[in-house]
A and B are shown apart, each in its own frame.
Chain A
């Protein structure tokens, strides 16, 4: 990562204004309240379908829109490039002698730097959306797609307003808003042109829908005689009936409102204040959206309705704001849009900020798989530029199973000077970042692959293969032992296919898909060879790799031969909690009767909750075993581990972990359970470092001795 970029992260982390604001807002709860009584899943499917249909024939829809709008007297210009859009509007200004423009919010205009372009020919564009106006006065770019000035404090806004009005402003927000009203009111009346964006454009009727809460778009579209609406092609939908679903979701997802205060549906020139018809222009802008629609992976990004809910739930965005995480468009989706509307190279640093927790995917009303698309950017960047030399060296090792395992064994000896108990608390020099905010687990003296050979198991008819994953194999072999104990109770023998190696997730999450594919092939061969009925893993990231990502990786790089075997492995693979619940339900495992144990809180690991969709099973098992469960705030929020993320971006991983530790401690529970050894590593290391009193356990450790 560029030094400059690291510096910008550091600066952003010093100022946690936005994080505080998002906390006070409590978006997840207010969003849920706004959606009360709505079948969100059905609505999301409907929107995804509407937008996907539109993305499949953008050009046709643009023509249809143009025809319909022109029939009503609107002038429609199709701009292929940013430059064409800017030129059209600048020429229009020249032709009409426009000097002053009032603008309501348009991200498309930000995208093409329209204001700067118009300024070159002496035209002043005044932003009227309060947030945009503040940003304009501050000479900044939006830090959030819906609330552009969210990163600024009221004191900073008061300063900006004081400069603009040459009066000293108090920091009272209500007062500041009234100042804006007074200042901007005059600008509407003096403007020769209004420019706005649009939220939806309907091909069938040539209508555009504009949502605002402030009412500025109403004034922009009413007071000046000329109105220009700049619309990105992705706003097109086929038909009039497509409006309602989008309009139902957009305000709820964007600001937790049932609907925005104002919705204007403009389908032709309305009456001007002097009785003449409006000079209405619509600029339909492509700027690489058609290219995006042609890309089988990225086409789905056109399903975005620009609600910015992906920003509101992102654990990284809240810490660094859109000024670091994003460009004109911000956050995860902003990174994707930047790669297309600007260039892939521009996302080199920012794409690395995504920790792959999947929170955004869960809330996206357009059902866009944002994390997957960011991985695809990563893959393409690696393809273009290659891996960094350090990464290359690491993956060369990971890709060589024997070398990798030998090195880990050696490390278990060489780490000795740094370990205390089961932890590495300090590492020297450049590695110290890894242990600044958490201790790391010491590498076990004997990996699980050796330990299992000494475990005496009963001879059973049924055999399952255990896929350990690196952490259980080399850091937490005791978790593996616990699994054997539990499964033996059910009359199942656990086998450990020796050929298993790293699941490839670290390579994949770093864009090294070829490496991940080699890992996948090795594992598929080793695990299928064992002939076991199931492949059980106690690491959700590994489970996701075996169950989903092997195939995804092959697909991405066009490798088709191992697909059938990958599917066979996927069908056999199951996570520990799901498997044990099945054994309990089938009566093959019985809990010891009448036991009561300590109070627990449960942390949902990202892959477990959002990819495997497993969250009830471990809770049910722990409850039946006699533990009392108490839920923490944000139980399914990432712990900041994210595999190598915590090594590359410890400065971000640390505050995410800190928040998680606080949420755990706030429950008062003496122990926290989870199903992921990676989360155990992060959270246990965090509590060890701060000397916290909470025991951090994998579910398997808590269940090990609870069966008859």
Chain B
């Protein structure tokens, strides 16, 4: 299922998929990735990281010190000036390469919709086969806003020519973490 998920996710374009055993490895990757992408403490180059289980028990101020410009608490204006946004997703869908999340908290939407690059953390074991399987996992009775994301923001509205990054991210990085376990 993971293989199929990865193939379909990559097929959505401008998407890369990484997989790590531990949270520590994943964290290193994400921090280094942001450094490489030039995240810094200046408008337009911030990194915003929405609250998530991945960060539970992590030394956030320590991480922020390693990476100036990375913010764990942020406003809409900060998110607007961010280059990279990080959120944790709840589910992956194998036959479409989709990731799904309860986005009722606004940080989740700001960090995933406004920056140029969206980094999505995903518990590696939370991949389901298809949409019906996903809908049996998410519950609209519990979440006011459920978001499904498959690849970067796209349009083909001019001459049906594909253009990436029209209103949302133009790049997607999926970081699967085995250690994150199930989100059930």
Contacts and interface: CB of A to CB of B under 8 A. Distances in A.
Interface of A: 17, 21-22, 24-25, 37, 72, 128-131, 134, 147-150, 152-154, 157, 173-174, 176-178, 180-181, 184-185, 189, 202, 205, 207, 213-216, 218-219, 221-223, 240-241, 243-244, 247-248, 255, 258-273, 275
Nearest to A216: B167
B48 to A, nearest CB: 13
A258 B8 contact: yes
Interface in B31-73: none
Contacts of A272: 106
Contacts of B184: none
B123 interface: no
Contact of B167 (A153, A214, A269, A273): A214
A271 B132 CA distance: 27
Given A24-B160, A154-B158, A258-B8, A215 B140 contact: no
B157 A244 contact: no
Contact of B147 (A37, A262, A271): A262
Contact of A189 (B80, B135, B157): B80
B155 A214 contact: yes
A270 B103 contact: yes
A322 to B, nearest CB: 14
Given A130-B155, A219-B114, 6 more contacts: A174-B163, A216-B167, A218-B109, A262-B150, A264-B148, A267-B146
Given A181-B166, A244-B131, A266-B145, A222 B160 contact: no
B151 to A, nearest CB: 5
Interface in B145-184: 145-161, 163, 165-169
Given A176-B158, A215-B168, A268-B144, A261 B151 contact: yes
22 contacts: A128-B167, A130-B157, A131-B158, A150-B157, A154-B158, A173-B161, A174-B163, A181-B165, A181-B166, A184-B167, A189-B76, A214-B153, A214-B154, A216-B166, A259-B96, A260-B150, A262-B149, A264-B148, A265-B138, A267-B140, A267-B146, A275-B106
A267 B163 CA distance: 31
For A128, A185, A215, A275, the residue with the greatest tally of chain B CB atoms inside 10 Å of its CB is A215
Contact of B141 (A129, A205, A264): A205
Contacts of A157: 158
Nearest to A175: B163
Interface residues of B, number: 51
Contacts of A216: 166-167
Nearest to B98: A259
Contacts of A202: 140
Contacts of B17: none
Contacts of A177: 155, 158, 163, 165-166
B97 interface: yes
Nearest to B151: A261
A152 B95 CA distance: 34
For A157, A247, A260, A270, the residue with the greatest tally of chain B CB atoms inside 10 Å of its CB is A270
B8 A185 contact: no
A264 B140 contact: no
A267 B144 contact: yes
